Homo-oligomer: A and B are copies of this chain.
């Protein structure tokens, strides 16, 4: 497996089952960030995290080998980084400032401990890049035939109301911060070209592809605009969510929750509107703002909110209804191919 971090023991033959849970944790924990809001870090039955305004935001997310990633494509560093990204963006989408994470790993017993050290490095660097000051305050480690990452992330609303999905109002402007369709384009490249001659995910094919096209690395370890969630809340965002399943599907969630039509501008969807509408996993932020508000730095206008005028809440593009829009549902779309 490719390593993009400084691994101090590249020839280290220790495996998780060889050294046991406690010795593995003893090598991982020192690599993790303590965090500015950590009252009590790892090592006891539970950790304690500050919640300055008397509430905390919480989100949890699983990444499972197969449906969510392939070890042949993702480095351990990528997995740590992406685990941070996908959870921090959910905290951001509530308008909160991320404060802490806990991370539970279930891995095959023959997993090198060094791989988990590199995972921890990716997690640490992802937190530092996207939400500096966020700590990893606890975790769990178990054995499983299926490499599984479970992250729970926390945030502080700083006294504000959470920005929900149901607050968009007719007349609001619609804005996005971050990429649209870039992760999906990278994944499509991996499916087509990051495989061997039998179509099985392949380490060296993926590595070469990644060198050629930055969207591949973006898919494997994206950097969503986490800080822009807080900015949007401060600017008065009326609704917000994290674009994890694609713009069409996620904008539809805001439309239904708010009872409105989200009308997107075709011109704002770039060269490949289909990809921008259907591509998931960019973890960009979708937000609505009252008319007249200057949208914060990072956001660009992509549409307006309209009254459904007796029709169904829905997403339109330049006033026209979308057809059946695809979204990422792992139970329906996962082919079962490993790698």
Using a CB–CB cutoff of 8 Å, the interface residues on chain A facing chain B are 16-17, 19-22, 24, 39-40, 43-68, 90-91, 93-94, 96, 100, 102-106, 109, 137-146, 148, 150, 152-155, 157, 162, 164-165, 240-242, 329-332, 334
Contacts and interface: CB of A to CB of B under 8 A. Distances in A.
Contacts of A164: 40, 44
A335 B234 CA distance: 54
Contact of A66 (B66, B68, B144): B144
A46 B96 contact: yes
Contact of A55 (B43, B49, B60): B49
B148 A106 contact: yes
B137 A58 contact: yes
A17 B331 contact: yes
B142 A58 contact: no
Most buried by B among A48, A66, A96: A48
A21 B67 CA distance: 13
A142 B330 contact: yes
Most buried by B among A40, A137, A153: A40
Contacts of A154: 56, 58
A329 B16 CA distance: 11
Given A46-B59, A104-B150, 7 more contacts: A44-B162, A45-B91, A45-B93, A46-B90, A46-B155, A56-B154, A60-B103
